[in-house]
Structure 1
Amino acid sequence: MTRGTTVTDELGARLRTYEGRAVAATGRGKDPVNAAMIRHWCEAMGDTSPAYTGPDAIAPPTMLQAWTMGGLSGHSGRSQAYDELFALLDEAGCTSIVATDCEQEYLRPLRPGDEVTFDGVIESVSQRKTTKLGTGYFITTRTDVRVGQDLVGTHRFRVLKYAPARRKPAPQPARRPRPVVNRDNAGFWEGVEQHRLLVQRCTDCATSRFPWLPGCNHCGSLDWDTIEASGEGTVYSYVVMHHPPFPAFDPPYAVALIELAEGIRIISNVIGLPHDKVRIGLPVRLEFQSYDDELVLPVFRALEEATAGGGRVRKEVEAP
């Protein structure tokens, strides 16, 4: 074992002694759960569920972290453990950081007037990891949110603290980014692999929804089934991407918000037409495009409205 490897192993062992140490103890939310913040959140998310308004309103579960955030002035009472942990990483050359993912668990709804407290802990420090960004450690913190003595939810947040890679990796064929598949949307991606665009439908109020969610954003029901989209749609809105360039893409290209016949909207690429010819209202039809041996994505081919024999017909448009 080389000296460099020994030092790295010693660093990892030292970092893991911080597991279980507090980040914050009995922190207090700066504001009680309140209707104004709920309204702003719902407007930003476009969530019109009646569950979040009226005398029996609850807060959207995904707002859990919002009630614990310290704002620009921060929170007082944070322990030194987190700062010490990050100081050790900085000293070892792991001076860069990137957030990787978060997980939330909900035990009961929050309601206006609830005052939250929270405790934070350094839950885990990974083994030394080498990524395309560089080499470092994944740090996971867990925040337990309470109202009184009742645990109402848990928020886990994970970051990678790393030393930036000094040398560029050997050139590799550019690949499209992989979709993030989780337990909530796995059924959608299984359908895509079978060249089927599956849409969730609430079995209580029959509202279709996309993207896939655990519950209905119209009536709040957790019961649902799926329908297969016909593939017919129109361009509801679009942007043309010029910058920043990414090796797997060839700008400029159009990214469109497609409104399907089923009443839901999906973001995808428009193919078969130059980017500067895409327009709002353009009719499109679903196709499935393979980008490599692993990745299949739904895309939409432009259709052209043309006049023939006094009537209107559609034909597929091929890019010149």
Structure 2
Amino acid sequence: MADDDELFARLKACEGRPATLAGTGKDPVNLPMIRHWCEALGDTNPAYTGPDAVAPPTMLQAWTMTGYPGPATSGPATSGPATSGPATSGPATSTPAASAGPPARTPAYDELLRLLDEAGCTSVVATDCEQEYLRPLRPGDEITFDTVIESVSARKTTRLGTGYFVTTRTRVHAGGELAGTHRFRILKYAPARRQTPAAIRPRPVVSRDNAGFWEGVRRHELLIQRCSGCRAPRFPWLPGCPACGGLDWDTVRASGHGTVHSYVVMHHPPFPAFDPPYAVGLIDLAEGVRIVSNVVGVPYDKVRIGMPVRLEFRSYDDGLVLPVFRGGPS
């Protein structure tokens, strides 16, 4: 207990200390990145295009990301949060980010991670983030930011294991003005030792807004909502039309033909009900909407953007039915 108290006191002493100072965005806010973001998310809001375009507010963190290979450390290598976390972004620098090497974390943040590693908390998972938007970001804005270690929790026990929640707060400036803040929280933990549970696949969350979709899946039908007013298709299911705001809708049965818009290959962590590596695709359906699901029928390393896929339904334990997409010619 005394050792735990001493560790917690040393962790708490890191609160208020900087994780980055005078960080600089790798690129100014720019229309190509805004376009890529909107295309990936299917966001057609006209505010993000044209001569008076602004960046989507949720891109706030994107302009501070370091990218691959991520931040350097200020001392010996330590494990830390994912490179997309603001706590790992940007060093103190007086030169443009484009000409700088990989940014460095501050000694204070490295010390915090070292203490947690030495305490056996060698695993890390991002838990949540909070953003506050104070000023729109416009193409041409030069981004600067600084990050502080805001808080370290007492030792907590979770299903993943026992460890500490670390929260960092990043203040993002554009043209010298405070544009927003970004809180990013990770759990640094020692993995729990537990018996392997039965290989039961996680169940989807069914609500009154999407119950009709899952009823269709059980019948081996992939149903897409269609607005009764403007006739715009939408997926996933929503209570109202994002195009016109209408609340009335009907459904269209998907033909099952599509192409891979984007994909990732899942390697880790393994769960008993899954068998990595496997490919998860963002599928463009012929009806004009996108759906996320597994790509099957081809090796995971042969999945490609633009690959034609076709819908099929697979049954899992306890009667669970899920839509998946088989790669290959339509």
Residue 11 of structure 1 and its aligned partner are, at CA, apart by 2.1
1:90 aligns with 2:117: yes
Hey, what does 1:236 align to over in structure 2? 258
Aligned-pair identity in percent equals 59
Is this contact kept in 2: 1:29–1:115, CA < 8 A?
yes
Counterpart residue identity of residue 90, structure 1: D
Q: Deviations over 1:239-272 (max 9, x none)?
A: 9x998875214799997877768642323479xx
- The amino acid of 1:21's aligned partner reads R
The gaps in structure 1 that reach 5 residues or longer are: 303-320
Would you say 1:28 and 2:24 are equivalent positions?
yes
Tell me, yes or no, if the aligned pair for 2:223 and 2:254 is still in contact at 8 Å: no
Runs of 4+ in 1 over 6 A off after TM superposition: 193-205, 212-217, 241-245, 250-261
Q: In structure 2, which of residues 238, 253, 273 is the aligned counterpart of residue 248 of structure 1?
A: 273
Shift in Å, 1:148: 4.6
Inter-partner Cα distance in structure 2 for 1:27 and 1:253: 37
- The match for 1:158 is 185
For residue 4 of structure 2, give the secondary structure of its aligned residue in structure 1: helix
Which amino acid is 2:289 matched to?
I
> What does residue range 1-320 of structure 1 map to in structure 2 within 5 Å?
5-42=1-38, 49-71=45-67, 74=71, 75-77=90-92, 79-131=106-158, 133-148=160-175, 150-165=177-192, 167=193, 169-177=194-202, 188=209, 207-211=232-236, 223=245, 225=247, 227=249, 229-237=251-259, 246-249=271-274, 263-268=288-293, 299=323
SS in 1 for 2:61: helix
Aligned amino acid, residue 209 of structure 1: R
- Whole-angstrom distance in 1 between the partners of 2:201 and 2:248: 27
Query: Counterpart of 1:129 in structure 2: which amino acid?
Result: K
Task: Specify the SS of the correspondent of 1:99.
Answer: strand
Task: Tell which deviates more after alignment, 259-268 or 99-108.
Answer: 259-268
Residue 312 of structure 1 is matched in structure 2 by none
Coordinate RMSD, CA, aligned: 4.8
CA contact (8 A) 2:28 2:143 kept: yes
Q: In 1, Cα distance between the equivalents of 2:5 and 2:40?
A: 45
31-40 or 224-233, larger mean C-alpha shift: 224-233
TM-score (norm 1): 0.63
Q: What are the superposed Cα offsets for residues 177-196 of structure 1, whole Å, 9 maximum, x if unpaired?
A: 466x8xxx977556667879
| CA–CA separation in structure 2 for the residues paired with 1:119 and 1:252 | 37
Distance 2:225 2:16 in 1: 40
In 2, the alpha carbon distance for the partners of 1:139 and 1:269 equals 33
After TM superposition, give the deviation of residue 231 of structure 1 in Å: 4.1
Q: Could you report, residue by residue, the CA deviation over 1:260-285 in whole angstroms, capped at 9, with x for unpaired residues? A: 68642323479xxx958xx967576x
Report deviation, 1:31. Answer: 3.0
Deviations 1:60-92 (A, max 9, x none): 333212222345585332543212211211222
Q: Which of the pair is proportionally richer in strand?
A: 1
TM-score, normalized by length of structure 2? 0.61
Q: In structure 2, what is the Cα distance between the partners aligned to 1:147 and 1:265? A: 33
The C-alpha deviation readout for 1:205-227, integer Å capped at 9, x for no partner, is 6643334799998x7x8x56474
The AA in structure 2 aligned to 1:236 is G
Q: Secondary structure at the match of 2:255?
A: strand
Q: Distance in 2 between matches of 1:242 and 1:36?
A: 28
Which structure 2 segments of 5+ residues have no match?
A: 72-89, 93-104, 299-306
Highest CA radius of gyration, 1 or 2?
A: 1
Give, as a single letter, the amino acid of the residue that structure 2 aligns with 1:122. I
> Structure 2 vs 1, CA of residues 191 and 7 (structure 1 numbering), >3 Å: closer, same or farther?
farther
Q: Aligned partners of 1:137 and 1:242: how far apart in 2?
A: 26
Query: Which whole-Å CA distance do the structure 2 matches of 1:257 and 1:280 have between them?
Result: 12
Amino acid corresponding to residue 104 of structure 1 in structure 2: Q
